[in-house]
Amino acid sequence: MPSAKILEQKQQALAELTATLQNAVTGVLVEYKGISVAEDTQLRNELRAAGVRYAVVKNTLLKRAVENVGMGELEACLHGTTALATSESDYAAAARILSKYASASKTFQIKSGFLDGKVISEAKLDALAKLPSREVLLATVCNAFQAPIAAFARAVQAVAEQKQAA
C-alpha cells in the first residue's frame, strides 16, 4: 500500500495529465523505442519549437487519464513504450513532425491520435500530418484574395495606358 505522500503525488500527476488531454486540440501517441538520445533531443527540440508538448508517460497513468476525458478507445494502444505529444493551438504540428520522424525510423511508430477530444483513425492522422503549416495555409489564402485585386489593378493600368496613347 503506497504512502499518503506517494498517493497524493500520483493523484496530482493524474490530474495534470487529464488537464493536458482536455486542453489539447490534438494529440499523438507514439512508441518511441529504438531511438538514440541525440535523435530524441532533436525530436523534442523540433516539437518544442512548434509549440507541442512531448512527454513519456506511464501506460497505467495514461489509461486512467483517457478514461477521465472520455477517450477510452485509446486504451487498446497503451502497451510498450508510450510517449504523448499534445498541442493546444496547432492541429497539425504534432502529427506532421512525428509522422516525418516515424517514416525515417524503423522502430519509432505512431500508435494513435485524437482531435478535439475524439479518437481518430490512422488515415485521418496521416491526412492531418500532410496538411501544410499554418503559415503556408495563410499565405495561400492571402494569395487567393490578392489575385483578383491584382488582376483588376492590371486591367485599370491597361485602360489608363490606352487612354494616354490615344
Q: Which tens digits make up the pLDDT trace of 102-124?
A: 888 888 888 889 988 888 888 88
Residue in this structure with the C-alpha cell 509522422, named with its chain if needed: 99
108 and 159 together in one domain: no
91 and 77 together in one domain: yes
142 and 115 together in one domain: no
72 and 153 together in one domain: no
Contact 149, 102 (CB under 8 A): no
Round to whole Å and give the CA distance between 82 and 102. Answer: 14
35 and 81 together in one domain: yes
Contact 129, 99 (CB under 8 A): yes
121 and 91 together in one domain: yes
68 and 78 together in one domain: yes
Judged on CB neighbours under 10 Å (0-12, 13-18, 19+), 159 is exposed
47 and 68 together in one domain: yes
Cβ atoms within 10 A of the Cβ of 143, count?
10
Round to whole Å and give the CA distance between 3 and 24. Answer: 32
Contact 95, 128 (CB under 8 A): yes
66 and 120 together in one domain: yes
Q: What is the pLDDT of residue 7?
A: 87
* pLDDT of 125 higher than 90: no
Range with the lowest mean pLDDT among 27-31, 72-76, 134-138? 134-138
8 and 63 together in one domain: yes
Q: What is the pLDDT of residue 137?
A: 66
61 and 21 together in one domain: yes
Report yes or no on whether pTM surpasses 0.85: no
Grid cell locating 41: 533531443
Residue 46: CATH number of its domain: 3.30.70.1730
* pLDDT of 85 higher than 90: yes
Q: Which domain holds residue 13?
A: 4-131
123 and 80 together in one domain: yes
Round to whole Å and give the CA distance between 55 and 155. Answer: 56
Closest by CA to 86, choosing from 132, 28, 15, is 28
User: Domain tally for the chain?
Assistant: 2
Helix (H, G, I), strand (E, B) or coil at 31: strand
